[in-house]
């Protein structure tokens, strides 16, 4: 058996779902924190700006434009994060610590984010800022802003690391999941291996139970308990068939013995001897029916499952055709086999031979002189098939299922000799081999098909 | 011939013993495994007929013990057990043949004869002869009165088996088991048809037939009419 790809396993699929849910949660949490923090910091900046504005506006009201310009000059010299710029109507700077009007998208009296350039250690640097613009009487403009460049950098750091964080979560989750599913798989594998061995016929095998008392150990224990029970039941069936066989065969044996002893001591010419001979024949018929029933019961109970080996259907077909060829010829029926390559299945040679003998026997029995019976073993896409096709009267479509039932024989053939268990046995052998028994229209005639599963590759 | 019968069903045992005595054999009997084993080890027998299920010691163990004591008496198992894998177990334990109850007495007699014949020391034969019918086992050819007979491989095996058991009854089941290696009962007697074909090849055109049908039992090949 090929080790299944870890990606196809249920355990791994569950892990995948968990990792996906976890990654989404982490992303959502981080995004929420980011958004909330940004909002709080923005509010704080806006408040600072508001306070500045209130101060400046008082100066303007008390001292006019000149007073305002003085305050702007003094505050600009301060060197903190505060940014100020007073311009004329053409937005040409009058006073302030910005070299040029930084933005053209502003609407008066609302907050605006913009970039400005500042010389830091002889390097011209573009920085982020946030502020508010006022239009003063006389076509003057005032910009009051705060440098938020440090915050901006922190934010950018956050947004660039977020995908990496999520990626890392996914990666770790997948690797962890693989390890976990491998662990799970190893234990499932041991259960599967044991099951396969049991299917192969070794009912004494048990699933190894670990020491951790987890769900798997509970599963293993339950499986083992179930197997114990099945083994007991199988043994019971075996014992029942054995004791039924013994209890019925012993009196049948005595009956036959008595009849035979009586027969030995009679002159074969007498009427009594003829009667006894008929009684022996009836007894033999009884024994044959009983043996067939027993065999069906055994095949159904899977008693013979242990005796399965790799066998070639084509060789069974050849042997059986060889056995039945003279009988067919004597009846004027052509018995043909279609040559085939090796058609291997896992099975019990004796039971399959017997089933095939029953099918061929029936086919010859029901095919009129001049007809033909064709036996074939072949591999089809559905499996490995054993086919017996005749050109006899066939079986009406609605009666085919009934034919396979025990004891049921078609009314038209009630008078033909046989136990009537021939096809039932074939059906039981088919069930034992997990094969399908199909009765199809051969147009004209009947085609019986036993479709076996392909043998599992040997390990 | 001396035969040991180990059978716990006393009625079956009585019929078996009587039948064998009538057939001219000397018979000892035992009703349980231990007594059977003691007898088998203390006296020489030509054949032992042992039931598969016995009180005190199972039939399989009796035979296993016999083989362990280097006792090579041919053993025929009688079994009332279901048979799918029981036959294999019986033969593995050291049994030489296996017969399921209920059996026909003629079948039992024929098998005992075959077992005793097998025991007799045989030179490795390369030719078999019955009357003027000759079988060369090396070249796989058959001749009757000097004229070659054309046989199919299976017909050759059938004739070989019959000739190895010349003057002995061979049953249909024995033929099916030995020549075709099938251990089941075909619904129609296919063996009869094979025999009649073989008969047409070896007896047709000759005054004395060699292949005889034994009524109610099977077939026999022999030189003189009985």
Instruction: Tell me yes or no: is domain A308-452 CATH 3.30.565.10.
Output: yes
pLDDT value at residue A233: 83
A contacts of B186 (beta carbons < 8 Å):
323, 357, 361
Query: Which tokens sit at B202?
Result: 């070896």
Task: Establish if B182 touches chain A: CB-CB under 8 angstroms.
Answer: yes
Distance from CA of A284 to the nearest CA of B (A): 9
Cα-based distances in Å from B91 to A128, B55, B95, B185: 99, 20, 5, 19
A249 to B101: CB separation less than 8 angstroms, yes or no: yes
Distance from CA of B48 to the nearest CA of A (A): 19
- Are residues B53 and A242 in contact, defined by beta-carbon separation less than 8 angstroms? no
A253 to B80: CB separation less than 8 angstroms, yes or no: yes
Nearest-by-CA chain B residue for A260: B105
pLDDT value at residue A419: 58
Task: Establish if B21 touches chain A: CB-CB under 8 angstroms.
Answer: no
Top-level class of domain B127-221: mainly alpha
- Alpha carbons within 13 angstroms on the beta-carbon side of residue B47 total 26
Does B226 score more than 60 pLDDT?
no
Query: Which tokens sit at B143?
Result: 């001749």
B contacts of A289 (beta carbons < 8 Å):
none
pLDDT value at residue A414: 44
Query: Which tokens sit at A8?
Result: 């196809």
What DSSP character marks residue A449?
Answer: E
- Are residues A69 and A86 in contact, defined by beta-carbon separation less than 8 angstroms? yes
Does B160 score more than 80 pLDDT?
yes
A contacts of B197 (beta carbons < 8 Å):
326
As a whole number of angstroms, the distance between CA B157 and CA A196 comes to 42
- Are residues A446 and A392 in contact, defined by beta-carbon separation less than 8 angstroms? yes
Distance from CA of A243 to the nearest CA of B (A): 8
A358 to B187: CB separation less than 8 angstroms, yes or no: yes
As a whole number of angstroms, the distance between CA B51 and CA B65 comes to 15
Distance from CA of A403 to the nearest CA of B (A): 17
What is the sign of the dihedral through the CA atoms of A92, A95, A100 and A101?
Answer: negative
Closest Cα to residue A420, out of A358, A371, A374? A358
A150 C-beta neighbours (distance < 10 Å), count: 11
B85 to A306: CB separation less than 8 angstroms, yes or no: yes
- Are residues B51 and B61 in contact, defined by beta-carbon separation less than 8 angstroms? no
Of A261, A306, A364, which has the smallest distance from its Cβ to B19's Cβ? A261
- Are residues A435 and A453 in contact, defined by beta-carbon separation less than 8 angstroms? yes
- Under the banding of pLDDT at 50, 70 and 90, the label for residue B219 is very high
Between strands A140-147 and A123-136, the pairing is: antiparallel
The CATH number, out of the four listed (3.10.20.30, 3.30.540.10, 3.40.800.20, 3.40.50.2300), of the domain defined by the range B2-119: 3.40.50.2300
Model confidence, pTM: 0.65
Percentage helix, strand, coil for chain A under 3-state DSSP, each rounded to 5: 60, 20, 25
Q: Which of A326, A328, A417 to mutate against chain B (most B CBs within 10 Å)?
A: A326
Nearest-by-CA chain B residue for A302: B84
- Are residues B175 and B161 in contact, defined by beta-carbon separation less than 8 angstroms? yes
Domain residue ranges in chain B: 2-119, 127-221
What DSSP character marks residue A348?
Answer: -
Domain A11-156: give its CATH architecture: 2-Layer Sandwich (3.30)
A303 to B82: CB separation less than 8 angstroms, yes or no: yes
A contacts of B8 (beta carbons < 8 Å):
none
Closest Cα to residue B93, out of B52, B118, B61? B61
Task: Establish if B207 touches chain A: CB-CB under 8 angstroms.
Answer: no
B82 to A354: CB separation less than 8 angstroms, yes or no: no
Task: Establish if B153 touches chain A: CB-CB under 8 angstroms.
Answer: no
pLDDT value at residue A208: 82
Query: Which tokens sit at A90?
Result: 């053409």
A contacts of B216 (beta carbons < 8 Å):
277
Phi and psi torsions of A133, nearest 5°: -115, 140
Q: Which of A236, A266, A288, A350 to mutate against chain B (most B CBs within 10 Å)?
A: A350
Give mean pLDDT in consecutive 10-residue pieces for chain A, a chain of 459 residues. Answer: 59 80 86 88 87 84 83 80 83 81 69 79 81 80 84 85 85 83 80 80 78 83 88 78 80 87 84 88 85 79 70 90 91 87 84 91 90 91 90 82 61 52 83 86 87 73
Does B194 score more than 90 pLDDT?
yes
Q: Which of A201, A252, A257, A354 to mutate against chain B (most B CBs within 10 Å)?
A: A257
pLDDT value at residue A200: 67
What does R_g of chain A's alpha carbons equal in angstroms? 48
Q: Which of B23, B190, B192, B194 to mutate against chain A (most A CBs within 10 Å)?
A: B190
A253 to B154: CB separation less than 8 angstroms, yes or no: no
B16 to A303: CB separation less than 8 angstroms, yes or no: no
Angle at A250 between CA A249 and CA A255, to 5 degrees: 95
Only one residue has tokens 């593995």, namely: B92
Distance from CA of B15 to the nearest CA of A (A): 6
- Are residues B79 and B89 in contact, defined by beta-carbon separation less than 8 angstroms? no
Domain residue ranges in chain A: 11-156, 215-301, 308-452
Strand partners, A448: A388, A439
Per-residue pLDDT averaged across B136-153, rounded? Answer: 90
Of B22, B80, B186, which has the smallest distance from its Cβ to A249's Cβ? B80
Of A291, A330, A361, which has the smallest distance from its Cβ to B186's Cβ? A361
Task: Establish if B102 touches chain A: CB-CB under 8 angstroms.
Answer: yes
pLDDT value at residue A415: 47
B81 to A246: CB separation less than 8 angstroms, yes or no: yes
As a whole number of angstroms, the distance between CA B74 and CA B95 comes to 7
Three-class SS state of A37: helix
Burial class (CB in 10 A: 0-12, 13-18, 19+), A327: buried
Distance from CA of B71 to the nearest CA of A (A): 29
Instruction: Tell me yes or no: is domain A215-301 CATH 1.10.287.
Output: yes
pLDDT value at residue A2: 47
Cα-based distances in Å from A101 to A52, A90, A116, B168: 19, 10, 8, 130
Cβ pairs A/B, distance under 8 A: 116
Distance from CA of A248 to the nearest CA of B (A): 9
pLDDT value at residue A155: 84
pLDDT value at residue A54: 85
Strand partners, A383: A380
B contacts of A305 (beta carbons < 8 Å):
none
Burial class (CB in 10 A: 0-12, 13-18, 19+), B34: middle
- Are residues A286 and A252 in contact, defined by beta-carbon separation less than 8 angstroms? yes
Three-class SS state of B92: helix
Per-residue pLDDT averaged across B58-85, rounded? Answer: 87
- Are residues A359 and B223 in contact, defined by beta-carbon separation less than 8 angstroms? no
């Amino acid at each position: 058996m090929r080790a299944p790809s870890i990606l196809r396993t249920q355990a791994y699929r569950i892990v995948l779902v968990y990792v996906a849910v976890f990654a989404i949660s982490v992303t959502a949490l981080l995004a929420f924190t980011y958004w909330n923090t940004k909002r709080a910091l923005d509010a704080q900046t806006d408040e600072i700006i508001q306070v500045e504005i209130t101060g400046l506006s008082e100066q303007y009201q008390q001292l006019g434009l000149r007073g305002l310009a003085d305050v702007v000059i003094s505050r600009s010299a301060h060197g903190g994060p505060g940014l100020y710029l007073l311009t004329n109507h053409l937005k040409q700077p009058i006073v302030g610590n910005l070299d040029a009007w930084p933005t053209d998208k502003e609407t008066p009296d609302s907050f605006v984010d913009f970039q400005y350039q500042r010389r830091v250690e002889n390097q011209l640097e573009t920085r982020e800022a946030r502020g508010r613009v006022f239009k003063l009487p006389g076509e003057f403009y005032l910009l009051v802003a705060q440098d938020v460049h440090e915050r901006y950098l922190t934010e950018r750091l956050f947004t660039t690391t977020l995908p990496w964080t999520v990626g890392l979560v996914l990666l770790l989750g997948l690797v962890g999941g693989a390890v976990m599913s491998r662990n799970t798989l190893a234990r499932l594998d041991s259960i599967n291996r044991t099951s396969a061995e049991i299917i192969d016929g070794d009912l004494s095998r048990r699933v190894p139970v670990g020491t951790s008392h987890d769900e798997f150990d509970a599963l293993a224990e339950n499986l083992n308990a179930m197997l114990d029970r099945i083994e007991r039941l199988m043994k019971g069936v075996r014992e029942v068939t054995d004791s039924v066989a013994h209890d019925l065969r012993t009196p049948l044996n005595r009956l036959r013995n008595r009849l035979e002893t009586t027969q030995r001591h009679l002159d074969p010419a007498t009427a009594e001897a003829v009667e006894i001979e008929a009684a022996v024949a009836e007894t033999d018929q009884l024994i044959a029916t009983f043996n067939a029933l027993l065999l069906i019961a055994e095949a159904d109970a899977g008693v013979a499952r242990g005796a399965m080996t790799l066998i070639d259907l084509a060789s069974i077909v050849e042997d059986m055709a060889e056995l039945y060829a003279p009988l067919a010829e004597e009846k004027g029926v052509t018995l043909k086999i279609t040559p085939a390559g090796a058609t291997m299945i896992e099975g019990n040679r004796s039971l399959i031979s017997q089933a095939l003998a029953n099918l061929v026997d029936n086919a010859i029995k029901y095919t009129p002189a001049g007809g033909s019976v064709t036996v074939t073993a072949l591999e089809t896409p559905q499996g490995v098939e054993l086919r017996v096709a005749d050109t006899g009267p066939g079986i009406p479509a609605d009666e085919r299922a009934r034919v396979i039932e025990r004891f049921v024989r078609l009314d038209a053939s009630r008078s033909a000799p046989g136990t009537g268990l021939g096809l039932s046995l074939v059906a039981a052998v088919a069930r034992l081999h997990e094969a399908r028994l199909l009765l199809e229209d051969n147009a004209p005639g009947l085609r019986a098909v036993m479709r076996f599963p392909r043998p599992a590759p040997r390990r | 011939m001396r035969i040991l019968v180990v059978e716990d069903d006393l009625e079956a045992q009585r019929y078996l013993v009587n039948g064998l005595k009538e057939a001219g054999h000397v018979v000892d009997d035992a009703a349980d495994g231990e007594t059977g084993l003691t007898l088998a080890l203390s006296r020489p027998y030509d054949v032992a007929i042992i039931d598969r299920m016995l009180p005190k010691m199972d039939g399989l163990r009796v035979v296993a013990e016999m083989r362990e004591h280097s006792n090579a008496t041919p053993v025929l198992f009688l079994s009332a057990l279901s048979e799918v894998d029981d036959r294999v177990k019986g033969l593995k334990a050291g049994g030489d043949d296996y017969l399921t109850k209920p059996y026909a007495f003629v079948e039992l007699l024929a098998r005992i004869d075959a077992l005793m014949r097998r025991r007799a020391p045989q030179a490795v034969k390369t030719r078999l002869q019955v009357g003027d019918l000759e079988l060369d086992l090396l070249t796989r050819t058959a001749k009757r009165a000097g004229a070659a007979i054309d046989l199919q491989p299976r017909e050759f095996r059938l004739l070989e088996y019959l000739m190895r058991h010349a003057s002995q009854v061979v049953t249909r089941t024995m033929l099916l088991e030995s020549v075709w290696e099938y251990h089941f009962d075909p619904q129609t007697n296919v063996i009869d048809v094979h025999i009649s074909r073989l008969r047409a090849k070896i007896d047709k055109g000759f005054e004395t037939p060699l292949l005889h049908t034994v009524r109610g039992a099977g077939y026999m090949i022999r030189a003189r009419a009985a």
